[in-house]
Chains A and B, each alone.
Chain A
């Protein structure tokens, strides 16, 4: 395991922890952006250049901006007035998360001997090959994803649109 891997992992996990623990929502959004960037670096470390750059474009370029927009549009909820940032049932949530991590960690450590280990040669995959695979073998999933993205786009606009009509169909300005 290289020192670079541990440094990027520490950065990613610190970003994730800060996103979950910080009080101010804008700080949380910035911390989660750091975590996304760390994950993109991990993808690049794994010789998955295409996925790494897709991660940067989609998560840092789109999802993080979307989160910031949502935080600013729900302005008065930035920092709660009373009761802290955690829910009343935070202890149960923490216990569930710890239990899930215990199971996952145990599975990884117990199965570590059976995992394909060692330094496998870096697979030489070009964007050309990925494009050919997307247009050939994976063309049906690609079309379904295109349909899903269209539906999500229209659905998000309709959901977030102002309610100008009530149930009876009478116009009602908000």
Chain B
């Protein structure tokens, strides 16, 4: 297996783990953690393709990963703020109990 294929397989496994966490856990914070894992797996793909692809000096993949890290940080801040507010409102972070959209 070439190094690039190894990195891609690790990223695919990490993405699947994050997806399983986001789809199966009941706690909203754990769902956010799963989403963060998926975003990180995508970043690993970007960096691996930057390293082994043609023209690494153009920095395209690296820039993509850096901007993706910044967007993921913004997403985490807003998501956790939402979870805290929902907890204050409904006194739970259990997603199975959040079954109505009316406040």
Contacts and interface: CB of A to CB of B under 8 A. Distances in A.
Given A1-B1, A77-B94, A94-B20, A153 B77 contact: yes
B1 A16 contact: no
B57 to A, nearest CB: 6
B29 A62 contact: no
A62 B72 CA distance: 11
B95 to A, nearest CB: 6
Nearest to A18: B17
A165 interface: no
Contact of B16 (A36, A47, A104, A148): A104
Contacts of A152: 74-75, 77-78
Contact of B24 (A77, A94, A151, A157): A94
Given A63-B36, A105-B12, A86 B76 contact: no
B85 to A, nearest CB: 5
Contacts of B52: 115-117, 120
Contacts of B93: 74, 77
Given A96-B19, A148-B74, A13 B95 contact: no
A74 to B, nearest CB: 4
Interface string B1-23: 11111111110111111111111
B51 A80 contact: no
For this complex, into which size category does the number of interface residues on chain B fall? 35 or more
Given A80-B94, A101-B13, A19 B51 contact: no
A68 B51 CA distance: 33
Contact of B17 (A17, A71, A73): A17
Interface string A9-27: 1001100110110000100
Contacts of A160: 81-82, 84-85
A104 B15 contact: yes
Contact of B9 (A85, A105, A145): A105
A101 B12 contact: yes
A71 B27 CA distance: 10
Contacts of A159: 78, 81-82, 85
A20 B3 CA distance: 27
21 contacts: A1-B3, A5-B7, A19-B21, A35-B14, A39-B40, A42-B47, A46-B47, A46-B50, A51-B69, A58-B73, A63-B76, A67-B80, A70-B80, A71-B29, A93-B23, A108-B8, A116-B52, A125-B59, A130-B62, A133-B59, A159-B78
